[in-house]
């Protein structure tokens, strides 16, 4: 498995991972109607912009892209001590728990640091069991927010890393 910078032409596979990950991760959390409404073509269009305007990385193996992550400037302005944001990280279910997610986050954090960012936050649905992934990476709870998905309201937890070096120094086993 390699992790590399996302490039033009990756959009379709990223969109496919995005939709598949939502359908496995959020089943039982987000309405089934909303999950079934997700379309690869719509996500593909948004990833054409995402690749250009964010620090985006993909995890790729022989069969193609199996995960991705991206980040950039913190978007809400609600957390003045945090200048960077991890916008998304998605891995196919069968590729989780193998260190690839950590590697993707580390790559985004490194790219943001090179661009002059010093800290990072991420938002995750409170009922998403993957929230423990962020805790294992040293994320500290810094807030809660409400979000609307498909007409329903959900609670999000906001985790932060006040120093990007916390993430950049993590190795595959969770050590430094």
pLDDT in tens, 124-141: 999 998 899 999 999 999
pLDDT in tens, 23-74: 999 999 999 999 999 999 999 999 998 899 999 999 999 999 999 999 999 9
Q: How many CA atoms lie within 13 A of 5 on its CB side?
A: 10
Q: What average pLDDT score do residues 155-169 get?
A: 94
- Does some domain include residue 173? no
The end-to-end CA distance of the chain, in Å, is: 21
CATH of the domain at 161: 3.40.630.30
Alpha-helix runs per DSSP H in 54-174: 100-114, 131-136, 165-168
pLDDT band at 3 (very low <50, low <70, confident <90, very high): very high
Helix, strand, coil shares of the chain, percent, nearest 5, are 35, 30, 30
- Does some domain include residue 143? yes
- Does some domain include residue 153? yes
Tokens for 164, please give them: 């990007």
- Does some domain include residue 176? no
Q: Is the pLDDT of residue 154 over 80?
A: yes
- Residue-number span of the structural domain to which 161 is assigned: 2-168
Q: How far apart are CA 12 and CA 153, in angstroms?
A: 29
- Does some domain include residue 135? yes
């Amino acid at each position: 498995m390699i992790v590399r910078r996302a490039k033009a032409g990756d959009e379709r596979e990223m969109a496919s991972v995005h939709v598949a990950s939502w359908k496995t991760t959020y089943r039982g959390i987000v309405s089934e109607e909303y999950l079934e409404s997700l379309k690869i073509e719509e996500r593909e269009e948004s990833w054409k912009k995402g690749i250009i305007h964010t620090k985006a990385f993909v995890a790729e193996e022989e069969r193609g892209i199996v995960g991705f992550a991206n980040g950039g400037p913190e978007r809400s302005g609600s957390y003045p001590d945090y200048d960077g944001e991890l916008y998304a990280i998605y891995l196919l279910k069968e590729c989780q728990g193998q260190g690839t997610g950590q590697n993707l986050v580390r790559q985004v954090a490194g790219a943001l640091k090179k661009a002059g960012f010093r800290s990072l936050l991420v938002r995750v649905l409170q009922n998403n069991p993957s929230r423990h992934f962020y805790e294992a990476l040293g994320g500290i709870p810094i807030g809660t927010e409400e979000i609307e998905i498909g007409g329903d309201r959900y609670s999000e937890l906001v985790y932060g890393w006040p120093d990007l070096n916390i993430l950049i120094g993590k190795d595959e086993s969770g050590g430094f």
